[in-house]
Amino acid sequence: MNAAILSQFQDLFKGQKNIAIIGHKNPDGDAVGATLGLYWFLLDRGHNPTVVMPNDFPDFLKWMPGSDKIVNFEQHTTQVKEIIAQADLICTLDFNDLSRVGNMELLLSESEKPFVMIDHHQQPSNYAILTWSDPSMSSTSEMVAHLIEAWSGWAGLTQAIATNLYTGIMTDTGSFKFPATTAKTHRVVAALIEAGTPHSKIHQAVYDNQSPGRMKLLGRALENMVIKQEWQTAYTFLSQSDLDQCDFKKGDTEGFVNYALQLEGIKFALIFIENKSEQIIKISLRSIGDFSVNDFARQHFSGGGHINAAGGRYAGELSQAIEHLLKHLPAYKHQLHEAK
Ligand code: 5GP
Ligand code: MN
């Protein structure tokens, strides 16, 4: 990070006591890792930070240092309102628009407190007095690591900070393999390991700790996969009854969409997941190369994200959501064919 941004951070945080740190709805490893990494750093520097999430996060992240202190808006609404009312500064991490906090959106958009954004998604909205947005970054957790390095040197890393940031980088880079993983990312990771990150244990805790239900659900997703070779696209789906029969828990479908990209010749992958209680179909989109699923999700599924990983939603039936894809896909034939 450059010196000008660092000095803006330092000026803004100076003398501020209560700092609310907020992640996005359905927090993933990066949202939890980045917020908790910043939490421990600010605590060490004498601030009084609190991490708030719009709703609960997956069980496979519940070992992360400090994760037991996260306050969940869905379960503790009054407490979160109080935290926001008392905050001197509100830091939003790993999202680019207030619509990404779900039911907390009104609370945040009505707040007159100063906001800081730290994020790596494209097209950031303009709600913060300090917006540090860098879509070239692998993860928000990597950004927090750069902030700490610039602010206090790697001496500022504790094991708790490092463990959280490592988990965020690992999950957002698909274990250091997505294109946004750079030499700089690996230098950060080296520093995190030097600070005592139990990296092998983290891999086990996140990836090798699966419930039988999740494994069964993955089987369903693989079985349901449809390959549209002509458009270099593969999609799959899970109905509410698939989820119910496999004892679905939050986070269970994480990563399923990536399997379709392992198919030869496939550049574009989608998974459609029915959510009967919210009456929507949640869609995850992934691509290889320069085909932008961010654009596709924005155009057709009221969503967005990054060039190779995006999400969106469809209000209607599962079959209609898939028909919607199949209606629009042919127009992308050339673009998909040309994508490198
Ligand atoms: P996932 O498919 O894992 O839910 O999300 C992939 C990426 O797309 C994430 O970086 C996430 O922030 C973004 N994303 C997911 N859902 C939405 C959405 O509804 N709107 C926008 N703008 N981005 C989303
Ligand atoms: Mn992220």
> Are 298 and 245 found together in one domain?
yes
For residue 313, the CA-to-ligand 1 centroid distance in Å is 10
> Are 34 and 147 found together in one domain?
yes
Residue 251's pLDDT is what? 85
Ligand 1: which residues within 6 Å by Cβ? 121, 284, 303-306, 309-313
Atom of ligand 1 nearest to the CA of 313: 19
Which of the listed residues 165, 182, 207 is the one where a domain comes to its end?
207
The distance between the two most distant Cα atoms of the chain, rounded to a whole number of Å, is 60
b/e per residue 101-113 (b: at least 16 CB within 10 A): beebeebbeebee
Task: Choose the residue to mutate in 24, 94, 121, 286 for probing ligand 1, maximizing ligand atoms within 8 Å of C-beta.
Answer: 121
Q: Relative to the alpha carbon of 122, which ligand is closest?
A: 1
Atom of ligand 1 nearest to the CA of 28: 3
For residue 330, the CA-to-ligand 2 centroid distance in Å is 30
In angstroms, rounded to a whole number, what is the distance separating the alpha carbons of residues 200 and 208? 11
> Are 201 and 267 found together in one domain?
no
Which of the listed residues 183, 207, 231 is the one where a domain comes to its end?
207
Atom of ligand 1 nearest to the CA of 312: 19
Residue nearest to atom 11 of ligand 1 (CA): 305
Which DSSP string do the residues of 188-225 spell out, in sequence order? HHHHHHHTT--HHHHHHHHHS---HHHHHHHHHHHHT-
CATH value at residue 13: 3.90.1640.10
> Are 274 and 161 found together in one domain?
no
Q: Find tokens 């069980």 and name the residue.
A: 59
Residue 209's pLDDT is what? 86
Q: Is 133 helix (H, G, I), strand (E, B) or coil?
A: strand
In angstroms, rounded to a whole number, what is the distance separating the alpha carbons of residues 293 and 272? 14
Task: Choose the residue to mutate in 117, 254, 284, 285 for probing ligand 1, maximizing ligand atoms within 8 Å of C-beta.
Answer: 284
Residue 257's pLDDT is what? 97
Q: Relative to the alpha carbon of 305, which ligand is closest?
A: 1
Residue nearest to atom 7 of ligand 1 (CA): 310
Burial zone of 123 (CB within 10 Å; 0-12 exposed, 13-18 middle, 19+ buried): exposed
For residue 25, the CA-to-ligand 1 centroid distance in Å is 10
For residue 257, the CA-to-ligand 2 centroid distance in Å is 17
> Are 250 and 139 found together in one domain?
no
Q: Relative to the alpha carbon of 93, which ligand is closest?
A: 2
> Are 221 and 130 found together in one domain?
no
Q: With a cut of 50, which residues of the chain have pLDDT below it?
A: none
What sign for the dihedral angle of Cα 105, 69, 89, 147? negative
Q: How many domains does the chain have?
A: 2
Structural domain that includes position 279: 212-338
For residue 124, the CA-to-ligand 1 centroid distance in Å is 14
Q: Relative to the alpha carbon of 171, which ligand is closest?
A: 2
Residue nearest to atom 18 of ligand 1 (CA): 303
Query: Looking at this protein, which amino acid is placed at residue 127?
Result: Y
> Are 330 and 243 found together in one domain?
yes
In angstroms, rounded to a whole number, what is the distance separating the alpha carbons of residues 11 and 179? 34
This prediction's pTM: 0.89
Burial zone of 280 (CB within 10 Å; 0-12 exposed, 13-18 middle, 19+ buried): middle
Residue 61's pLDDT is what? 96
Residue nearest to atom 4 of ligand 1 (CA): 311
HSE, side-chain direction, 13 A CA sphere, residue 304: 12
For residue 15, the CA-to-ligand 1 centroid distance in Å is 35
Which of the listed residues 207, 232, 248 is the one where a domain comes to its end?
207
